[in-house]
Amino acid sequence: MLTELPLLPADPILGLSAAYHADTNPDKVDLGVGVYKTEQGNTPILACVKQAEAELYQNESSKVYTPPAGVPGANRAAAALAFGEQHAVIRDQRVATIQTPGGCGALRAAAELIAKAKPNATIWVSNPTWGNHVPLLSSAGITLKEYPYYDFNRQAIDFDAMLEALQQAGKDDLVLLHACCHNPSGADLTPNQWQQITELAAKRGFTPFIDMAYQGFGDGIVEDAYGVRLMADQLPELILATSFSKNLGLYRERTGSLSIVAPSATGAAASLSQILSITRGLYSMPPAHGSSLVDIIYHSESLHALWLQELTDMRERISGLREQLVGALNSTQQQMNFSFIAQQRGMFSFLGLSTAQVTRLKNEFSVYMTDNSRVNIAGVNGANLDYVSRAIGQVLS
């Protein structure tokens, strides 16, 4: 049976990483893989995580399964971070939150819930969007449609085209939105644009499906949840997938959550029962380590403060790198103005290079990025900034 399976090509990002590691050029630079990196090129374990792990090691007395929804304290933390501790959806018990294996697990579980609730539903996704959105959602058998989002010529959101397309979304549809730090463009909705989409959702009846993978990496914990909280204020329903991979550096621990906001507490309880039935058939019980750390850090005054400081340091480093990269690129060449990079948020931006230029960067300079010229800004540092800028200047000239 298995001999009939065809060989599939490597995932574009993972294949890029493999090519980078095989490259023997001492000046090679990896701007492809989407993980946070320090000035030294490391992806660190945060100090708050180290301390929480020490506390967990001392106090953990069993490896028995968690409850089906995961570590209760972590779920309370995830909901509070997303909506605010005093938000009406929490106070009125209109939100149901479960722990999932990373943000990917949240997206897939949500897709299965949508398919069960509305088999004929359509999910609208931005063009472009994160590469794994499509396989995660379509694997549940749901129809996907695209809405315009990023104008590559202007290096900005094409909001008029986005609104025009979403006028077609109806009451059985969902619209997938990036809460902040849009992956892969780095171009985020403004508060006014969030309000317009919220009003359109109320008018057309579609349900917001928000992916918040980078809370705290844009402008701050509260600021990055603006759209989530606004929609929870003004709409009866929404679906939210969140991740602690970036803002707590818990990549390999696969720590995420799925929250469903329902019109009533009864509806939230029903949604929770359905989600738990679905996840029982997907992965049975969620992993505990990462969520136990979230619980400890969020509910410890000292560790919570340390986490927010470390998160601020990461965010400000990325923001500073954007400014430095713009300065270096604009001083190295005159073919393009890269000032748009400093206006964007999070780890990603499109450089606006052609596939041929990206190939030259890889083959001639060992500078690695995806074919559409999406780069991880956190891959830049003081040691490689000039080299990367001069290489890009060379392929543009």
Annotated active-site positions, please? Answer: 130, 211, 246
- On whether the CB atoms of residues 158 and 148 are closer than 8 A, the answer is yes
Among 243, 112, 230, smallest CA distance to 183 is for: 243
Angle among Cα 278, 109, 5 to the nearest 5 degrees reads 95
Return d(Cα 296, Cα 291) in angstroms, integer.
9
Question: Encoding tokens for residue 372?
Answer: 């559409």
**Nearest-10 crossing angle of helices 72-83, 289-299:** 60
Angle among Cα 131, 278, 93 to the nearest 5 degrees reads 95
For residue 265, how far is the Cα from the chain centroid? 28
Among 191, 69, 182, 192, smallest CA distance to 128 is for: 182
φ/ψ region of 318 (left if φ > 0, alpha if ψ in -120 to 50, else beta) reads: alpha
User: Which DSSP category does 4 fall into?
Assistant: G
Identify the three-state secondary structure at position 127: strand
Beta bridge partners of 176: 209
* Residue linked to tokens 């315009």: 148
The answer for residues whose C-beta is within 8 angstroms of residue 366's C-beta and 6 or more apart is 20, 23, 25, 27, 28, 29
